[in-house]
Amino acid sequence: MAQRTLIIVKPDGVQRGLVGEILGRFERRGLKLIGLKLMAVDRSLAETHYAVHKEKPFFADLIEFITAAPVVCAVVEGPEAIAVVRMLVGATKFTEAAPGSIRGDFALDLTMNLIHASDAPDTAEKEVELFFQPDELLDYTRDGDRWVTSG
């Protein structure tokens, strides 16, 4: 059964010109891109998205950062997509991110760590709904998918 998950290439990833490199890693792994958009995150959306961190001392910095410049939001789909995406993204703390992961290869800051990825199925569902309308997600067959998994 395929899972869906949200990925946000944060302002630093967009500003550094890494969108293609970052999204390409998910596609090369075999995940299917089903939604994609460049957007500005307004304060209200940012506060809703990061509500779980509202009482933490870094909340204001998160809001300021994610609203500072455009982001690229994507929804990918595939077997165990959430776990696969999290592995490709790497640990939140850049010094703990494995070489070969996105953060392990490109991040040098805790806040400016290039990418957000949903961490669990319920979170993924809520985050996808927060950033995408149902008609912005496409259900389609890729001819090459039969060469990615046996299922």
In a domain, 146, yes or no: no
Q: Which of 14, 85, 116, 124 does the annotation list as catalytic?
A: 116
Instruction: Note if the pTM is more than 0.85.
Output: yes
Can you give the CATH number for the domain in which 129 is found? 3.30.70.141
In a domain, 52, yes or no: yes
116 in active site: yes
Mean pLDDT to the nearest integer, 6-31: 98
In a domain, 98, yes or no: yes
In a domain, 144, yes or no: no
3-class SS string, the chain = CEEEEEEEECHHHHHCCCHHHHHHHHHHHCCEEEEEEEECCCHHHHHHHCHHHCCCCCHHHHHHHHCCCCEEEEEEEEECHHHHHHHHHCCCCHHHCCCCCHHHHHCCCCCCCCEEECCCHHHHHHHHHHHCCHHHCCCCCCHHHHHCCCC
33 CB-contact burial (10 Å; exposed 0-12 / middle 13-18 / buried 19+): middle
Cβ–Cβ under 8 Å, residues 129 and 80:
no
In a domain, 140, yes or no: no
Q: Residues 69-125: pLDDT tens digits?
A: 999 999 999 999 999 999 999 999 999 999 999 999 999 998 899 999 999 999 999
In a domain, 142, yes or no: no
In a domain, 147, yes or no: no
In a domain, 34, yes or no: yes
The count of domains in the chain is 1
User: Which residues constitute the domain of residue 75?
Assistant: 2-134
